[in-house]
Amino acid sequence: MIKKDFPSEGELVVGTAKNVQNFGAFVTLDEYPDREGFIHIAEIATGWVKRIRNHIKEKQKVVCKVLHVDEEKNHIDLSLKRVNEHQKRDKIQEWKNSQKSKKLLEMVSKELGKDIENCYNEFGNELAEKYGSLYGAFEQAAYDEEMLKKDGYKGDWVEKFIQIAKTSIPVPFVDIKGYIIVTSWLPDGINHIKNVLVEAENSEYEDVEIKVKYIGAPNYMITVKAPDYKIAEEELKKAVDKIEKKIKENNGDFEFHRKLEK
C-alpha cells in the first residue's frame, strides 16, 4: 500500500492521546505508524484552558489538524481546536472505512492465497486511485457487480473482490416522498386512478422502489427508495409526470406537493 511517511500541513489526522501534560498532549498518529504529534495547550480548545484533561485524556481517540511538519526533527505540531464537529465526524468515518477496507482486502488476499502487499501492488492501489479510496472501490463493487469489469479490470482477483464486497458492504439507500391530489371524472374514475397509480410504481431500475399509498380522498402519498438522492428525485419526477399525463389525458385533476397540504 502506498502511504506517505509524514502527514501534510493542513491535513486532518486521526490519533490516540498517549501522554497528556499540563502544557499539551502527545498523540500517536493512527494513520502514520511510528509517528507522533504534539498539541500545545493553546491548540487544545478555544478560550482559556484551565484543566487540559477536561478536553483530552490518555487513550482518547482524537481528530487533529496538522499545523507544521519538520521531517528532519521528526516533529509534528497539531491542533485540536481547529477541527469542527462536522470535520471530526467525516474524518472518523473516513478512518473507519479505511480500516474496514484493509480487513476486506485481507479477506480477498486469503481467498487468492496471496500476500496482502502483493494485492495492493497488483490492484489495490490502482483501485484506490480510480475510485477515490479502496473502500470506495468496495462500495462500487457492492452496488454494481459489473462496475469493475466495465472499467476494464481483469484477473483472478476480480470475482473474489466482488464477492467480498457484496457480502460485506451495505448498499446505502435514501427515502423521499411527496403528495398527490388526483380526481377523475370518468364513470369508472376510481379504477382509472388505481390503474394509473399502479403503473406509476414501475421503475426501470431493480434497486428502486416506488410506492403510492392512499391517505384519504383525493390524497395519496408517493414514496421512492433509491441508492442515492439524485436517482430518487429523478424517479419521483418520472412517476409524478406519468400520473399527471394519464390523469389529464382524461380531463381529470392533478396536483403534486412535497408536503401534505392542510
Q: Please give the grid coordinates belonging to residue 109.
A: 488476499
* Cβ-count burial 23-60 (b if 16+ within 10 Å, e if not): ebbbbebbbbeebbbbbebebbeeeebeebeebbeeee
Q: Are 78 and 13 in contact (CB under 8 A)?
A: yes
For residue 91, count other CB atoms closer than 10 A to its CB.
19
Angle at 176 between CA 234 and CA 251, to 5 degrees: 65
pTM, to two decimals: 0.64
Chain segment 123-160, per-residue pLDDT in tens: 999 999 999 999 999 988 988 888 899 999 999 999 99
Give the CA count within 13 Å in the CB-facing half-sphere of 168: 23
List domains and CATH numbers for the chain: 12-82 (2.40.50.140), 86-168 (1.10.150.190), 174-257 (3.30.70.1130)
Q: What is the rounded distance in angstroms from the CA atom of residue 88 to the CA atom of residue 84?
A: 6
- pLDDT above 70 (res 1): no
